[in-house]
Amino acid sequence: MKIGKAILAGIVLLCGTSLFAQNPWLSQKHDWKVYRGLNGEKFKIEMDTVRQTSLGVLVWGGEVGVDIISQPILFDCHGYFLIPGEDEGDSPLSGEWMLAPSRSVIGAIAKDVCAQQKLQETTVKHSAERNGN
């Protein structure tokens, strides 16, 4: 358990934004989106947790099985993703960026997450323009 806490602490430091505020289990509202693969895999993504970080676009989600294990997933919005510290004992960014093929489940998630981030950026920009900033 200490290793898991160390991994989470490392991610918080590296991403620059508070992941605790973005954890779907701590959020007031849940906007889960479900993705199903042809092989039976099922993923749930918390769309309200989409955030831009210095490393890419971060979202919380996970594979649905007996339990849903929610974890952060990073997307670069150029076809790659990273699940930080995927293996127990790994440092938060020890994993490597993997390809997210557009016709795969992870590719569909990437498309939606990156579109959500772009929408958030556009909304913030228009709000700032209206307020004269």
Quote the pLDDT of residue 48: 86
How much is the mean pLDDT over the chain?
Answer: 75
Identify the bridge partners of residue 82 per DSSP, sorted by sequence position.
74
- At 74 the three-state DSSP class reads strand
Q: How far is CA 107 from the centre of its chain?
A: 13
pLDDT digits (tens, 9 = 90+) for 62-96: 877 756 667 889 999 999 999 876 555 555 556 78
Residues 6+ apart with CB under 8 A from 54: 14, 15, 16
For the full predicted model, state whether its pTM sits above 0.75: no
C-beta of residue 34 within 8 angstroms of C-beta of residue 40: no
Q: 100-129 as b/e, with b when 16 or more CB fall inside 10 Å?
A: beeeebbbbbbebbbebbeeeeeeeeeeee
Place of tokens 């490597």: 96
Judged against a pLDDT cut of 80, whether residue 45 lies above it is answered with yes
pLDDT digits (tens, 9 = 90+) for 101-120: 988 999 999 999 999 988 88
Q: Which amino acid is at 100?
A: A
How far is 113 from 49, CA to CA, in rounded Å? 10
